[in-house]
Amino acid sequence: MDEKHIAVVTEAGNSLGKKFANILLEQGYEVILAACHDSFVQLSRDEPQRSYDLVEIDFTSCASMNDLKEKISTSYGKLDLLINNAEVVNGFGQKIDQLNIDDVREVYEINLFSVIRIIQLLKPLLEKGENPKIINITSSLGDINKMKDEDFCYSNYCLTAYSTSKAALNLFTHLQCKEFKPSKINIYGFDPVAMKNCTYNSVAISDGVKDEFISLVR
């Protein structure tokens, strides 16, 4: 990468943000990791000596997200890559009678609405990048065809809020891909979790998944 490219990675507690940030640093990016409060505190504690720029953000606050935009604009003047990785999950195993609408709303606020909001906000800075890209981190639990497949290891998982928010994110990504097609912005959906042997999702990124991610950001 000849010139320094600028990336923003969002993080809300799945521990993947740090992994993406470090991969991007290896690829020559300057990286801003925007983490919500609990993740910010944990990352500050775990990585006091870090090469990425860690900033605290409230994904439900327009003012906080505007502060992020101003920081990028003032410090870098452009944005080349946006990784929408922030996500939350709750309500594991809950049936319809157990669902709390406020909990569902909380998941959608981070997993979908904050993605829409941050793309709206940072689009002008992405347009100043040479080959700008957006990567929305999704999940197989939001893939309707996989969830219909009884042989799929997570087809019987009851994560209503999470799964439907990721399904909505997948469709949003598809629609944005069509919208951005005439422009220089490219947008992708990416599932980073290798579900080997149908065990519980791990935040470990295997070499094959890492290589696929690198092919998208180069």
Q: With a cut of 60, say whether residue 195 has pLDDT above it.
A: no
pLDDT at 198 over 60: no
Q: What is the mean pLDDT of residues 154-171?
A: 94
* Residue 212 buriedness (CB in 10 A; 0-12 / 13-18 / 19+): middle
**In Å, how far are 114, 115, 186, 217 from 133, measured between CA atoms?**
17, 14, 5, 7
Cα angle, residue 126 at apex, residues 59 and 214 outer, rounded to 5°: 85
The two tokens of residue 60 are 């439900």
What pLDDT shows up at residue 89?
93
Residue 202 has pLDDT above 70, yes or no: no
* DSSP, res 77: S
The DSSP call for residue 218 is -
Average pLDDT over residues 182-186: 97
What secondary structure letter does DSSP report for 31? E
The residue whose two tokens read 């997200």 is 65
Measured CA angle at 36 (ends 32, 39), to 5 deg: 90
| pLDDT given at position 2 | 54
Asked if the model's pLDDT at residue 200 lies above 50, the reply is: no
Least confident of 53-67, 77-91, 201-215: 201-215
In this prediction, residue 194 has a pLDDT band, given cuts at 50, 70 and 90, of low
**DSSP string covering 119-167:** HHHHHHHHTTSSS-EEEEE--GGG-HHHHH-TTSTTTT---HHHHHHHH
Average pLDDT over residues 138-164: 91
**Averaged pLDDT for residues 116-145:** 96
Distance CA 37, CA 58 (A): 7
Q: Predicted confidence band at 197 (pLDDT cuts at 50, 70, 90)?
A: very low
The share of the chain scoring above pLDDT 90, in percent, equals: 80
Query: Per the CATH hierarchy, to which homologous superfamily does domain 5-89+108-140+165-217 belong?
Result: NAD(P)-binding Rossmann-like Domain (3.40.50.720)
Q: How confident is the model at residue 47 (pLDDT cuts 50, 70, 90)?
A: confident
Q: What is the pLDDT of residue 203?
A: 57
In this prediction, residues 95-105 reach a mean pLDDT of 95
pLDDT at 28 over 60: yes
Element (H, E) at 179: helix 160-180
**pLDDT, average across residues 55-80:** 97
Question: Residue range 183-207: average pLDDT?
Answer: 72
Mean pLDDT of 50-55: 95
Model confidence at 1, pLDDT cuts 50, 70, 90, reads: very low
Residue 217 has what pLDDT? Answer: 96
